[in-house]
Structure 1
Amino acid sequence: MNWTDALAAYDRDLRARGSAERTRRAYGVDLGGFSEWAGEQGLDPGDVRHRDVRRYGAGLSNAGAAPATVARKLAAIRGLYGYLVRVEKVGSNPAELVSSPKRSEKLPTVLSTEQMRSLLERIPARTPLELRDRAMLELAYSCGLRCEEIVNLDEGALDFETEQLRVLGKGQKERLLPVGEPAQRALRRYLDKGRRALLADPREGALFLSKSGRRLSNSDVTRRLGLWTREAALAAGVSPHALRHSFATHLLEGGADLRTIQELLGHASISTTQVYTRVDAARLRDTYAASHPRA
Structure 2
Amino acid sequence: MTSGPSDGATRTTDDDAPAQVAGQVTEVSEHPSPTLPAHLERLTERARDYVDAASSANTRRAYGADWKHFSGWCRRQGLELFPPSPQVVGLYITACASGAAIPGGKPNAVSTIERRLSALGWNFAQHGTPLDRADRHIATVLAGIRNTHGRPPVQKEAVLPENVIAMLETLERGTLRGLRDRAMLLLGFAGGLRRSEIVALDAGRDQTEDGRGWIEILDKGMLVTLRGKTGWREVEIGRGSSDSTCPVVAVQTWLKLAKIGHGPLFRRVTSRGKDVGPDRLTDQQVARLVKRTALAAGVRADLSEGERQMMFAGHSLRAGLASSAEVDERYVQKQLGHASAEMTRRYQRRRDRFRVNLTKAAGL
TM range (shorter): 0.7 to 0.9
CA distance in 2, matches of 1:43, 1:55: 13
- CA-atom RMSD in angstroms: 3.5
User: Scaled by the length of structure 2, what TM-score is found?
Assistant: 0.63
| Mapped partners of 2:117, 2:342: distance in 1 | 19
| Within-5 A mapping of 1:162-241 | 163-170=222-229, 173-181=231-239, 182-193=246-257, 195-196=258-259, 205-212=263-270, 213=277, 214-235=279-300, 236-237=308-309, 238-241=312-315
Residue 164 (structure 1) shift: 0.9
Partner amino acid, structure 1, of 2:337:
G
Q: Distance in 2 between matches of 1:239 and 1:53?
A: 33
- Selected match of 1:77 from 101, 117, 120: 120
Report the secondary structure of 1:168's partner residue: strand
Q: 1:140 aligns with which of 188, 197, 212?
A: 188
Q: 1:79 to 1:250 in 2, by over 3 A?
A: farther
* Greater fraction of residues in helix: 1
Q: Deviations over 1:184-228 (max 9, x none)?
A: 1111222222x12xx6xx8x6111122121322233333333443
d(CA) in 2 for partners of 1:136, 1:248: 17
Q: Deviations over 1:221-277 (max 9, x none)?
A: 3333344324422244321211111112223xx1332x5434432344555445324
**Is 1:5 aligned to 2:32, yes or no?**
no
Q: Mind listing any 5+ residue stretches in structure 1 that lack a counterpart?
A: none
Distance 1:57 1:42 in 2: 14
Count of matched residue pairs: 269
Runs of 4+ in 1 over 6 A off after TM superposition: none
Segments of 5+ residues of structure 2 without an aligned counterpart are 1-26, 32-47, 100-106, 205-213, 240-245, 271-276, 301-307
| Higher mean C-alpha deviation, range 59-68 or range 32-41 | 32-41
* Code of the aligned partner of 1:284: F
Letter in 2 for 1:217: T
Residues 150 and 233 from structure 1, CA distance in 2 versus in 1: closer, same or farther, beyond 3 angstroms? same
Q: Structure 1 residues 52, 94: CA separation in 2 closer, same or farther (over 3 Å shift)?
A: farther
Q: TM-score of the superposition, structure 1-length normalised?
A: 0.75
| 1:1-295 → structure 2 map (5 Å cutoff) | 4-5=28-29, 15-38=51-74, 40=77, 42-49=79-86, 51-63=87-99, 64-81=107-124, 83-84=125-126, 89-90=128-129, 93-96=131-134, 98=139, 99=142, 101=146, 102-120=150-168, 123=171, 125-156=173-204, 157-161=214-218, 163-170=222-229, 173-181=231-239, 182-193=246-257, 195-196=258-259, 205-212=263-270, 213=277, 214-235=279-300, 236-237=308-309, 238-251=312-325, 254-257=326-329, 259-268=330-339, 272-280=343-351, 283-284=353-354
Indicate how the Cα distance of structure 1 residues 129 and 54 shifts in structure 2: closer, same or farther if over 3 A, else same: same
Residue-by-residue CA offset, 1:268-291 (whole Å, 9 max, x unaligned): 45554453244335x438x969x9
CA shift digits 1:83-133 (9 cap, x unpaired): 45xx8x23x532246246234232331123322332235546422222211
Structure with a larger share of its residues in strand = 2
Q: 1:43 to 1:262 in 2, by over 3 A?
A: farther
Identity %: 27
